[in-house]
Chains A and B, each alone.
Chain A
Amino acid sequence: MVLDVLYFAWVRERIGLGRERVETTAATVADLVAELSAREERYALAFADLKSLRVALDQDLAEFSAPLAGVREVAFFPPMTGG
Chain B
Amino acid sequence: MAVRVQAEPFDLGAESTAFAAGLRRAGAVVTFTGLVRDNGGALQAMEIEHYPGMTERAIAAMVDEAVTRWSLEDALVIHRYGRLGPQDQIMMVATAAPHRGDAFAAAEFLMDYLKSRAPFWKKELAADGSAWVAAKDEDEAALKRW
A residues sitting closer than 8 Å to B (CB atoms) are: 6, 8-10, 12, 56, 59-61, 75, 77-83
Contact = CB atoms under 8 A, between A and B. Distances in A.
B118 A82 contact: yes
A75 B51 contact: yes
B57 A59 contact: yes
Q: How large is the interface on B (under 10, 10 to 19, 20 to 34, 35 or more residues)?
A: 20 to 34
What are the nearest 4 A-B pairs in CB distance?
A79-B135, A9-B121, A82-B120, A59-B54
A8 B135 contact: no
B54 A81 contact: no
Interface string B47-77: 0010101100110000000000000000000
A14 B134 CA distance: 16
B119 A56 contact: yes
Contacts of B49: 8-9, 12
B54 A83 contact: no
B122 interface: yes
Contacts of B132: 9-10, 78, 81
B115 A75 contact: no
7 contacts: A61-B117, A79-B140, A80-B116, A80-B120, A80-B135, A82-B91, A83-B120
